[in-house]
Every structure is written in C-alpha cells, then in structure tokens.
A and B are shown apart, each in its own frame.
Chain A
Amino acid sequence: MADIGFFNEMLTAEGTPRPAYSQLDSWLEQVPRNDLKRLSREAETIFRRHGITFAVYGTDEETERLIPFDIVPRIISAREWRRLSAGIDQRVRALNALIHDIYHRQEIIRAGRLPAELVVQNEAFLPEMVGHTPARQVYAHIIGTDLVRVSEDEFYVLEDNTRTPSGVSYMLENRETMMHMFPELFQSHRVAPIEHYPEMLRETLESVAPPACDGSPTIAVLTPGIYNSAYYEHAFLADTMGVELVEGRDLFVDDGYLYMRTTRQPERVDVLYRRIDDAYLDPLTFRPDSTLGVPGLFDVYRAGRVTITNAPGTGIADDKAIYSYMPEIIEFYTGQKPILNNVPTWKCEEKDSLAYVLEHLDELVVKEVHGAGGYGMLVGPTASKKERAAFARKLKARPGNYIAQPTLALSACPTFVGAEIAPRHVDLRPYVLIGDKVRITPGGLTRVALKKGSLVVNSSQGGGTKDTWVLED
C-alpha cells in the first residue's frame, strides 16, 4: 500500500511523549510484556463471561462474537476536548434544526442552500413526518458523531449517526474493565468519569416526555430481540437506566395510547427508546410485514401521546449526500462557522465527480450513500488493482449509490498487538444526548484498526475498541 504519513497521538516526530501521554508512556516502558499479555487475556475472559458480545451478519457458524478490546487507553487532553465538545454541540443543534426545517417550512431549500431533490427524493425522507413537532422540537436525541483526527488540531467529522447509534455499552464496559484491571493508572491520571451516562440518558428521555404525559414518564427500550447484533447493548441500557426492555410483541395500542403487557394490568408507555429501524416501527404505517413493531404506534406518536427516540425520519440528517452540505447547514441554522471540519466529498451521481473519482480510485475512499458498518466500501490505497477494477464496474452501474472522499491519514495510538506496543489507526465516536439540554459524555468509543496499516476500524471488519480518557485540568 501507499505509505501515508500519520499523526501519532502519543509521540511527537522526535519520539518524545506528548504531555497528556507522558505518564502512560513511562508506564508502558516498564510493564513487562508478559503481564500485558496476561491482562489482555483476562480482559477477554471478563467480556465473554459478562456476555458482552455482538453478532456479525452473514456468518453462519458463530452468531455471537467478542469485539477485541485493547488494554492501552487513548488519551485526550482537556484542551482538545473543550474544542471538540464545542464543535459537537454546535453540530447536533444544527442537525436537529435541519430535521425540524425539513419536515416543516423547508427554509433551507427556499433559501437555495440545499437542493430540493436531495431531500424529497431521498429514501430517508419520511413524508409521514411532515408537520410533526415532537416535544422540545428535538428529533435526534441520541447522536454518535464519528470523528477522525489527522493532526494536532485537525479533526474531521466522518459521519453523524442520527438514527440509532450503537456502541455506548462498549464505552462503559471498557471503562469498567480498565478500572478493575489498572486502578493504579486511574490514581495517577485525572480521568473524567463517564459512568453516569445511563442516568444522563434517562434524564434526557424523561425531559422529552410527550405532552399527554402527566406525572413521571414511563420509559421503555424497544429491541428487535436476542438475535440482533446490538442486543447486549439494548439490555445493558435498559438495565442501567432501570427501565423495561421490550419487544414489539410486548406492546399494544389501545384507545389511542401505547401499553406494555405485564403480569398485571397493562402499563402505559410514554417514551420509547427504540432500537429498531423506522421501516419496522409500525406495520400499519410502514412495512406491513414487520413483526418487530407495534400496529398503530405511529398514530399514537403523531397524536403526541408517546415520544419515539430517535424520531422516525431522522435518517435524513445522516444521509451521506446531505452530509456534504453540513458546513452550509451549520452556518444556516447557527449563524456560526463550523468548528469541526467536514471531509470533502464527491457525489458520484454528478458527472464530473464520477469522472474524477474513477480516475483517482487509488487515492479515495468510496462508500455507499446509505451504507453503514463498513460494508460495501472501497479503501482505494489499500485495495488491490483487481478490487479497484471490480469496484469501478459497480460505480459505473449505479453512480448515484456512491460518494467518495479523500483517504484521511487517521491518527494512530499505541496499541498492544501480539507481543508489542505499536501504533494503530483510530477513530472516535462521542455520544451526545439532546433533550432539555445537550449532554456530551467526555470521550466516547475509540475504535482501532488492529491490522497494521489498516484504516477500517469497524468491528464487523475486524476492528477493536479502547477505553478513551479525557483528562481533567
């Protein structure tokens, strides 16, 4: 592959540790490698015993797998985090303003800042949502912003996950495991705590209870069931928030309200944190063959008698074609310049862009517009000639299905691989909660590409995770 220079988060070009990493660096120098090996195995045992697994689609043999966990933490300084969180705050406010606008007056389209066809012809646009205003005008309550770092001060947003971002349970379990295994490191560092995430999530969900709810709202987490890839997380969140974990068959609509079937009288549900896709929510409104949802749910929602988080139709905001307009979108709704960078994006449906992309396939990353999870993407610089040729054929057949971006030199963090510590490329997904206010958990989930040189961090493609520390001043 083409060798690209990258930013090393721990070491400067001279090989000296950056201030935030100085203690960790000396700790890593003195700890015997065999101890690291043993601790690594111990961590894996903890994860397996707790059943912290995910499912990989498309594999028959083993349905539950562990995400590899790297025991070397990633460190972000207080200064870096202040700037990042300001940028995230700005971005999630703009995203919610965008969704509200798209389902109401569409001012941004009238102002000529966003092409109309990008919205109305978008599969993620939900006509059923037009004119609906949920509690506090919040549509995307839980957002996972995927960030990568390319230099000391440059962060790029790769993607805004405004539908049902996952992975927060790994963030929390990683921290739990690290505190259990390396208490001495937590004594010598001032690591900002994150374990209050479930309480913040609960507060957020309570704060967006529907108008019809009087008194303290009843919250439930809606899961597709135990065979879903993120089932562990659904159960984890329900458990740590102290709310019911429900499946579609546990819910029913009666007399205009949503209820759970309990061992006693039916219990009303006010806020539904759903972890199923829009299309499956309600067979009467969306996919009629859905058995995961609840017949009649959408009517209850439109009547303001239940809050669905995230709202149906929020996918419009994390669509990869809309993404390229994010700088304009942020300026339009906040009146400010974006704090975080957007990655330049070529939309292959445009003739000139397609020609450019085909010519520069060996430098670009090409993604499906509606894809997720690292499936169906091409990383030009690491792909073989044959793979690029095959991809070019797909691209020509359906150009509208793809966007391309320059291959970013993702920063690298020290990682324990095999028997040594070596730099591996990482990204970062901070989790943001939006309700009565914006709550950002310090840090987030760091995903790491364990293969040397690899830039694909997705767990479905062999990536691992790390605990992420934001240091306090």
Chain B
Amino acid sequence: MLGRTASSLFWLSRYVERSEDMARLLDVGYRISLLPGIGNGGHREDWKSTLVSAGCDAGFSRVYDEVNERNVVSYMLFDEENPSSVRSCLRTARDNARSVRTALTREMWESLNTTWIEFSDIKPHHMTRNKLPTLLDWIKERSMLFRGALLGTSLRTDTFHFGQFGAFIERADNTSRILDVKYHLLLPQNEMIGGGVDNYQWSTILRSVSAHRNYRWIYRDSRPKPWHVAEFLILRREMPRSLVHCYAWLAESMDGLEQLYGERSPSMDIAHKTYDTLRGGDMKDIFANGLHEFLQDFITCNNNLTTALATDYNFA
C-alpha cells in the first residue's frame, strides 16, 4: 500500500469521526440552551464551553465577537475557515476518499460522497432553530453509516487497520478533551475532586458522548456522580467511547498490522504502552495525581501516536 493511501485512509476516517463528534457537542449545547439559565453567564456560558470542548474557541474569536447560539452553530457547522467545522470535516474526508478511491469499497465511497452532496445542498441561512436537531441527528447517522460500511465491507487488511487508527485516535482525543474541559467547568472552586458534588449538568458530559442511558446500566446512580462519570469515560471497557475502549480497538488493529506486515513498528509500542496504562488504571490513583494532568498526558501520548504512525508508514 502506498504511504499516501495509508495517510488518506487514516485522515478520512478521522474526519468522519470528528464530524460526528462536532454534531454531538452542538447537540448538547442546544439542549442546555433550552434549560433555564444557571450560574452567572447562564446558557451563554455553555456555548463557550461547547467551543472549548471542540477546540474551536481560539479560531471562533478571530471571526466573531459575541458567543451566542447563532454564531457558534454557524462556525461549527458551516464555516470553511474552521478546519473542524462539519463542512470542513466532510470536505476533507471526501477529498481524501477521492484520492484513495481504489482502496475503498463502493459502499464506503458512496456513503461519504452522498453525505457530502447532501450536506452541500444545505443553505446555511435557511438553518433555523427547529431544524437543528434533525440536522445533527443526520450528521451522526451518516458517520455511523460510513463506520458500518468500513466494518461491514472492508477487507481486514491494512486498509481496514489504517481506517481504525484514524477513527479511534480521533474518538479518544474527543472524549479526553470533553472530560477535561467540562470537569473543570462544572466542578465548583474549592470542591474536592471526586467529592459529592451533585449537579444535573454532569449528565451533559455523558450526553455529549451519547452515554447518558448507558451510564445507568453500569452505575445505577440516581444522578450521575462525577467520580463515576470520569471512570466511565476513561476506564470502562464496556463504554464504546471510553479511552480504554478506543485503545482496545487500536491495540487490536496494531496487532493485525503487525501480523500482516510481519514486523513491529515503534507506533505499535506506543499504542500498547498507553493501552496497558489504561487497562491497569485505577481511578483513585488518577485522582490522586490529578485528573487534569492525567488527561493532558493522555492527549500528548495520543498525538504522539499519530506522529509515530506518519513516520513508520510514510504518510506523505
């Protein structure tokens, strides 16, 4: 396989995952805006946290003065200057898919191509408040359709593995950033981390990773507890967007690639090291050493994995 092909498979899969993540974050922002204002800034404050979780806050402030629903939605869905807007994600994904069409199954290509064609037909100025939830659902569905096409039609060769790397590195990055940002926003000053804070907004973290129902199956808490929320998103393998779950998939594809190529690469070692840390992890230790520090370390390792893959496999 060409190095450029591997790179395109990685990035196209990564951008599809990101489009879905952006839709989830907006969905949460939208729901909170329907609730009565809380705290000083009320719901305006939460659109701000939507931007921060999406890693879009710096770019946003270069374009807009005021943080409000209209501006945030427009920036995160349609803005071409924003490399992580849903539009940019879908375009980048499709451009990458076009350049490696020969490596994709017809189902994978058509799911991406149709998504792009239909998304391009949406006129941003026709977007109204009531249409937003339907559009966000559609974006999530289209991403899941692509994922289904990858899982259901792709040969389990390097094509599949590089696609998996992109999807799960992106998902792990997203989960860790949401947790990092929201945890600190929601936790009042002076409150001991892991203490008994009871705030209905904890459920928004869960919602942003589509896990508010799943959570109850595992924990049976009447209201989400911060400690459990963190554990759920970091260490629980059952949770498909948790860090350990992402790394279980990554490790599996790393092993698959090792078998296929008959050799081990430095990126495989990096992935396995992170996987081992998560697998053997204990919430008490993580909180003792600082959740923020733990997540920052994780984000760095996760980024290093991308760099290592690019070096090991000649991403052009």
| Residue A226 lies at the interface, judged by CB distance under 8 Å to chain B | yes
A231 nearest CB neighbor, chain B only: B98
Contact B2 A250 (CB under 8 A): yes
Q: Is the interface of B mostly helix, strand, loop or mixed?
A: helix
Contact A262 B99 (CB under 8 A): no
Q: What CA separation (Å) do A310 and B5 show in the bound complex?
A: 25
| Residue B77 lies at the interface, judged by CB distance under 8 Å to chain A | no
Indicate whether A239 sits within 8 Å of B102 (C-beta atoms), given known contacts A49-B113, A51-B113, A261-B316. yes
| Residue B101 lies at the interface, judged by CB distance under 8 Å to chain A | yes
| Residue A263 lies at the interface, judged by CB distance under 8 Å to chain B | yes
Contact B314 A261 (CB under 8 A): yes
B116 nearest CB neighbor, chain A only: A51
A260 nearest CB neighbor, chain B only: B2
Q: What CA separation (Å) do A263 and B4 show in the bound complex?
A: 8
Contact A263 B158 (CB under 8 A): yes
Q: What CA separation (Å) do A239 and B102 show in the bound complex?
A: 5
Task: For residue A49, give the distance in angstroms from its CB to the closest CB of chain B.
Answer: 6
Binds B, one of A127-135, A138-146, A181-189, A240-248: A240-248
Task: For residue A183, give the distance in angstroms from its CB to the closest CB of chain B.
Answer: 20
A245 touches which of B3, B102, B158 (Cβ 8 Å):
B102
B102 touches which of A48, A238, A249 (Cβ 8 Å):
A238
| B113 CB contacts on chain A under 8 angstroms | 49-51
| Residue B231 lies at the interface, judged by CB distance under 8 Å to chain A | no
Contact B110 A50 (CB under 8 A): yes
Contact A226 B98 (CB under 8 A): yes
| A236 CB contacts on chain B under 8 angstroms | 101
| B2 CB contacts on chain A under 8 angstroms | 244, 246, 250, 260-263
A248-278 residues with Cβ-Cβ distance < 8 A to B are: 249-250, 260-264
| B5 CB contacts on chain A under 8 angstroms | 244
| Residue A453 lies at the interface, judged by CB distance under 8 Å to chain B | no
Task: For residue A62, give the distance in angstroms from its CB to the closest CB of chain B.
Answer: 10
| A230 CB contacts on chain B under 8 angstroms | none
Task: For residue B19, give the distance in angstroms from its CB to the closest CB of chain A.
Answer: 19
Contact B6 A226 (CB under 8 A): no
Task: For residue A233, give the distance in angstroms from its CB to the closest CB of chain B.
Answer: 11
Task: For residue A376, give the distance in angstroms from its CB to the closest CB of chain B.
Answer: 30
Contact A261 B95 (CB under 8 A): no
| Residue A283 lies at the interface, judged by CB distance under 8 Å to chain B | no
B3 touches which of A49, A231, A262 (Cβ 8 Å):
A262
Q: What CA separation (Å) do A235 and B101 show in the bound complex?
A: 6
Q: What CA separation (Å) do A262 and B312 show in the bound complex?
A: 11
| B138 CB contacts on chain A under 8 angstroms | none
| Residue B303 lies at the interface, judged by CB distance under 8 Å to chain A | no
Q: What CA separation (Å) do A236 and B4 show in the bound complex?
A: 18
| A48 CB contacts on chain B under 8 angstroms | 117
A263 touches which of B1, B95, B114 (Cβ 8 Å):
B1
Contact B109 A263 (CB under 8 A): no
Indicate whether A263 sits within 8 Å of B6 (C-beta atoms), given known contacts A51-B113, A226-B95. yes
Q: What CA separation (Å) do A49 and B98 show in the bound complex?
A: 13
Indicate whether A262 sits within 8 Å of B1 (C-beta atoms), given known contacts A225-B99, A235-B102. yes
Q: State how many residues of chain A have any CB contact under 8 Å with chain B.
A: 22
Contact B4 A250 (CB under 8 A): yes
Q: What CA separation (Å) do A265 and B114 show in the bound complex?
A: 36
| Residue B261 lies at the interface, judged by CB distance under 8 Å to chain A | yes
| B4 CB contacts on chain A under 8 angstroms | 247, 249-250, 261
B1 nearest CB neighbor, chain A only: A263
Contact A262 B114 (CB under 8 A): no
Q: What CA separation (Å) do A14 and B101 show in the bound complex?
A: 50
Task: For residue B4, give the distance in angstroms from its CB to the closest CB of chain A.
Answer: 5
Q: Mark B108-132, 1 if CB is under 8 A from A, else 0.
A: 0110011001000000000000000
Task: For residue B217, give the distance in angstroms from its CB to the closest CB of chain A.
Answer: 39
Task: For residue B10, give the distance in angstroms from its CB to the closest CB of chain A.
Answer: 11
| A249 CB contacts on chain B under 8 angstroms | 4, 316
B46-60 residues with Cβ-Cβ distance < 8 A to A are: none
Indicate whether A262 sits within 8 Å of B102 (C-beta atoms), given known contacts A226-B95, A249-B4. no
A51 touches which of B6, B109, B313 (Cβ 8 Å):
B109
A247 nearest CB neighbor, chain B only: B4
Q: What CA separation (Å) do A260 and B258 show in the bound complex?
A: 21
Between B110, B158, B314, the greatest number of chain A beta carbons within 10 A of the residue's beta carbon is seen for B314
Between B4, B113, B261, the greatest number of chain A beta carbons within 10 A of the residue's beta carbon is seen for B4
Contact B3 A250 (CB under 8 A): yes
Q: What CA separation (Å) do A236 and B104 show in the bound complex?
A: 12
B4 nearest CB neighbor, chain A only: A250
Q: What CA separation (Å) do A263 and B313 show in the bound complex?
A: 4
A220 nearest CB neighbor, chain B only: B2
| A231 CB contacts on chain B under 8 angstroms | 98
| A225 CB contacts on chain B under 8 angstroms | 99
| A51 CB contacts on chain B under 8 angstroms | 98, 101, 109, 113
Q: What CA separation (Å) do A246 and B99 show in the bound complex?
A: 9
Q: Mark A33-53, 1 if CB is under 8 A from B, else 0.
A: 000000000000000111100
| B6 CB contacts on chain A under 8 angstroms | 263
Contact B316 A264 (CB under 8 A): no
| B101 CB contacts on chain A under 8 angstroms | 51, 235-236, 239, 245
Task: For residue A293, give the distance in angstroms from its CB to the closest CB of chain B.
Answer: 15
Q: What CA separation (Å) do A72 and B304 show in the bound complex?
A: 57
Indicate whether A244 sits within 8 Å of B313 (C-beta atoms), given known contacts A262-B1, A262-B3. no
20 contacts between A and B (CB under 8 A): A50-B106, A50-B113, A51-B98, A226-B95, A226-B98, A226-B99, A235-B101, A244-B102, A245-B101, A245-B102, A246-B2, A250-B4, A260-B2, A261-B2, A261-B3, A261-B314, A262-B1, A263-B2, A263-B6, A264-B261
Interface contacts beyond A49-B117, A226-B99: sample of 15 additional A-B pairs, CB < 8 Å, sorted by A: A48-B117, A51-B109, A226-B98, A235-B98, A239-B101, A244-B2, A245-B101, A247-B4, A247-B99, A249-B316, A250-B4, A261-B4, A263-B1, A263-B3, A264-B261
Q: Ordered nearest first, which 7 A-B pairs have the shortest CB separation?
A: A235-B101, A263-B313, A239-B102, A226-B98, A261-B3, A263-B6, A238-B102
